Structures are given as C-alpha cells and as structure tokens.
C-alpha cells in the first residue's frame, strides 16, 4: 500500500465489497432503502472464488480491496462477502484499521444476520449454507452460539452454487437438482430457519424456499443487512456520511466490465452506468 492511499480523505462514500457480483444482492437493498448516499461497489471477479482459498489468501485479497475502497474516498466499507467477512473482517478491524485508517470503519454481514435469527423466539434450530471457507471457519456458528447457546445449528458447505450462479445457471433444472441434494440433510434435521451465508444465494431464494417448504424461514440477507446499516448510520454521525440530493453510484470490477455489466444488471435489477476496471495488486 502506498502512502498516497493512506492520505486520501474520506469523501462521503459508502464502499461495498464482494469477491464478485454477489454483493450486488446486498447493494440492491441499500439502493432500495438508503438510496440517497454515495456508493462505490468493488467486485474482485478476477480472483473469484474466494470460498475455495486459504485464510491467508482471503485476508490479503480483502485487505487489498479495503485499501482500494479507502483510496477512492470511502468513509465506511461493508464487506458484503460472507467468505471475506468470516476469514478477514476481525483481523482487519482489530489490527489493520486502527493503524492504517483511524477514523474509518469496516463492517461485515455475519453479525446482522445472526442478531436477526437469534432475536426470533420461534427459531430453535437453524441451518446455514455457505462456501467451504465460510462453513469451515465456523464464523456463523460461533456468533450464533454466543448470542443463543440453546440454538441447534446445522451447517452445510455448498461450493457448487457460486459457479452455477456466476454462469447464469440459477434457473436451470440441473441447479435445482444440486440444490435438492445439498438441502436434503438440512430438511431432514427439521430446522426452523435457513441462513443464506453467501452473497450469491439470494439468486436461488425462490428455488430454496420451494425445496425447504413453507414452514422454514429463509430471510433475504440484503434486507437485514440494509436495516442494520441504516441503524448504524444513525448511531454514527461522526463518520460524516450524509444523504445527498444527487447521490452517485460507481462500480469497479477487477475483470471484464462487459461481463460485469451484463450479469450485474440482472443481479442488481437496474442499469449500471458508471463502471470501470481496476487492478488491486498494484496498490
Ligand atoms: N461472495 C462470496 C460469499 O459471500 C462467495 C463467492 C466466492 O467464493 O468468492 O461468500
């Protein structure tokens, strides 16, 4: 990281980071519920999937993404990626941020989802699906246990889903077949709610609900994370994030902008106009 990156002032912008396009399922709810802020989205599509990589690699990639988003003026970064949240967030918050960017903030997505599940008295058993790295980290499990020790927790790694979604195969019968195979053990364990522990999985929300049945709650992560961001912004005026009459939404990808635009507009449900390619390793 260069000194120039460090010195750049915060410019009233919320950064949203994901390993690829999946974080757009979170940004979609920010733009619906909190549209008057400036946003910069960064998708590290060139290095996706993070979910198959080691903790050291995921930490380094996420730190580079954080450096980039702070270098373009973000005051606050939401790490929308569950894999990065589970493998890198705590270390970034505790070791890196206070030294490299005092006064700026990084938030993840695991805590808001955990708080919402544990606040619901009717949920006695919860399932979690996520990438290999997220499930192996036990990040959801340990946070859930902290807040509600009586909760029964069932986790399943579902590594084939991200490539299928990135490929635009969400609606294909083959994907539904794979989903059924992944979800069967969770169904048999009679959970009350299922956490979609990966930014990509909201694309399969309808199919997952169909397979799991009406009794099992499958919250939309973006909705919960957006509510939590709203409350955080109200509690932290010192961050200097204000609502604007003409907010700007800017997008960066580390891979082909053409592909990002094509798939991203589907993910986001709106047109992506201001889009550039960037390289994270040169920082
Ligand atoms: N965005 C990641 C997540 O939420 C999944 C994709 C990947 O493996 O990079 O976990």
**Residue 16 domain flag:** yes
Structure tokens at 279: 């390289």
Q: How far is the CA of 183 from the centre of ligand 1 (A)?
A: 19
Statement to judge: residues 39 and 102 lie in one domain: yes
Same-domain pairing of 101 and 227: yes
Same domain, 70 and 147: no
Torsion over CA of 164, 170, 172 and 178, rounded to 10 degrees?
Answer: 60
Task: From 221, 243, 265, give the residue that closes a domain.
Answer: 221
* Residues 42 and 102 occupy one common structural domain: yes
Q: What is the pLDDT of residue 10?
A: 87
Nearest protein CA to atom 1 of ligand 1, as residue: 81
Count of structural domains, the chain: 2
Q: Tell me how far apart the alpha carbons of residues 58 and 88 are, in angstroms, rounded to a whole number.
A: 7
Same domain for 210 and 184, yes or no, is yes
pLDDT at 8: 65
* Alpha carbon 77 to chain centroid, angstroms: 11
For residues 231 and 99, state if they share a domain. yes
Return the residue matching tokens 């961050």: 239
Domain range for 177:
111-221
What's the CA gap between 104 and 40, in Å, rounded? 15
Residue 199 Cα to ligand 1 middle (Å): 6
Full-model pTM: 0.94
2 inside domain: no
Whether 87 is covered by a domain: the verdict is yes
Q: Are residues 101 and 23 in the same domain?
A: yes
Burial of 238 (0-12, 13-18, 19+ CB in 10 A): exposed
The binding-site residues of ligand 1, defined as CB within 6 angstroms of any ligand atom, are: 18-20, 22, 48-51, 81-83, 131, 134, 162, 198-200
Pair 202, 252 in one domain: no
In a domain, 1, yes or no: no
CB 39 within 8 A of CB 30: yes
126 and 166 share one domain: yes
Q: Which of 45, 82, 203 to mutate to test ligand 1, by most ligand atoms within 8 A of the CB atom?
A: 82
pLDDT at 168: 86
Q: Is the same domain home to 191 and 56?
A: no
Q: Are 214 and 137 members of one domain? A: yes
Q: Which of 24, 81, 89, 164 is catalytic?
A: 81
User: Is it true that the peptide bond before 124 is cis, omega within 30 degrees of 0?
Assistant: no
Is there a domain that residue 141 lies in? yes
Are the C-beta atoms of residues 156 and 186 closer than 8 Å to each other?
yes
**Closest atom, ligand 1, to C-alpha of 80:** 4
- How remote is the C-alpha of 141 from its chain's centroid? 17
Contact 272, 30 (CB under 8 A): no
Phi–psi pair at 216, nearest 5 degrees? -95, 125
pLDDT of residue 167: 84
Q: Which atom of ligand 1 is nearest to the CA of 22?
A: 1
Measured in angstroms, how far is the CA atom of residue 83 from the centroid of ligand 1? 5
CA angle 177, 183, 185 (to 5 degrees): 125
Q: What is the pLDDT of residue 207?
A: 96
DSSP class of residue 21 equals S
Q: Which of 117, 198, 208, 268 is catalytic?
A: 198
Compute the distance from residue 125 Cα to the ligand 1 centre, in Å: 24
Q: What is the full per-residue pLDDT of the chain (283 aa) written as tens digits?
A: 443 344 468 899 999 999 999 999 999 999 999 999 999 999 999 999 999 999 999 999 999 999 999 999 999 999 999 999 999 999 999 999 999 999 999 999 999 999 999 999 999 999 999 999 999 999 999 999 999 999 999 999 999 999 999 888 999 999 999 999 999 999 999 999 999 999 999 999 999 999 999 999 999 999 999 999 999 999 999 999 999 999 999 999 999 999 999 999 988 999 999 999 999 985 4
Last residue of a domain, one of 177, 195, 221: 221
Distance from Cα 161 to the centre of ligand 1, integer Å: 10
User: Would you say residue 283 lies in a domain?
Assistant: no
* 3-class secondary structure, 267: helix
The atom of ligand 1 lying closest to the CA of 51 is 8
Provide the pLDDT for residue 282. 52
Q: For residues 234 and 229, give the distance between their C-alpha atoms in angstroms, rounded to a whole number.
A: 9
Q: Does 37 fall in a domain?
A: yes
Phi, psi of 243 (to 5 degrees): -85, 145
Q: Looking at the structure, tell me whether residues 115 and 92 fall in a common domain.
A: no
pLDDT at position 7: 47
How far apart, in whole angstroms, are the C-alpha atoms of residue 137 and residue 134?
5
The CATH number of whichever domain residue 177 belongs to comes to 3.40.50.1860
- Closest atom of ligand 1 to CA, residue 162: 6
For the question of residue 198 being annotated catalytic, the response is yes
The CA distance from 65 to 12, in Å, is 18
Asked about 81 being catalytic, the answer comes back as: yes
CA-closest candidate to residue 75, choices 240, 185, 210:
240
pLDDT at 2: 41
Confidence at residue 267, expressed as pLDDT on a 0 to 100 scale: 87
- Label residues 92-116 b or e (16+ Cβ within 10 Å = b): beeebbeebbeebbbbbbbbbbbeb
Kindly state whether residue 84 falls inside one of the protein's structural domains: yes
């Amino acid at each position: 990281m260069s000194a120039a990156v460090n010195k750049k002032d915060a410019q009233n912008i919320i950064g949203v980071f994901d390993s690829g396009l999946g974080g757009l399922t979170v940004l979609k709810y920010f733009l619906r519920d909190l549209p008057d802020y400036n946003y910069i989205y960064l998708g590290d599509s060139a290095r996706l999937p993070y979910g198959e990589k080691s903790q050291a690699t995921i930490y380094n990639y996420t730190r580079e993404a954080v450096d980039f988003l702070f270098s373009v003026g973000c005051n606050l970064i939401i790490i929308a990626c569950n894999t990065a949240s589970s493998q890198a967030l705590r270390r970034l918050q505790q070791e890196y941020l206070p030294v490299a960017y005092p006064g700026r903030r990084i938030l993840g997505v695991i805590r808001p989802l955990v708080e919402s599940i544990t606040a619901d008295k009717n949920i006695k058993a919860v399932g979690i699906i996520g990438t290999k790295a997220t499930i192996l980290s036990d990040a959801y499990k340990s946070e859930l246990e902290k807040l509600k020790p009586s909760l029964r927790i069932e986790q399943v790694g579902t590594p084939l889903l991200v490539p299928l979604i990135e490929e635009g195969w969400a609606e294909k019968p083959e994907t539904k077949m794979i989903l059924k195979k992944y979800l069967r053990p969770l169904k048999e364990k009679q959970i009350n709610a299922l956490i979609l522990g990966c930014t990509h999985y909201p694309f399969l929300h309808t199919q997952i609900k169909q397979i799991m049945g009406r009794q099992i709650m499958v919250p939309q992560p973006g909705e919960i994370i957006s509510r939590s961001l709203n409350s955080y912004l109200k509690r932290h005026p010192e961050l200097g994030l204000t609502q604007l009459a003409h907010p700007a939404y800017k997008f960066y990808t580390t891979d082909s902008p053409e592909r990002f635009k094509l798939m991203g507009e589907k993910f986001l449900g709106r047109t992506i106009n201001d889009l550039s390619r960037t390289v994270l390793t040169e920082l």
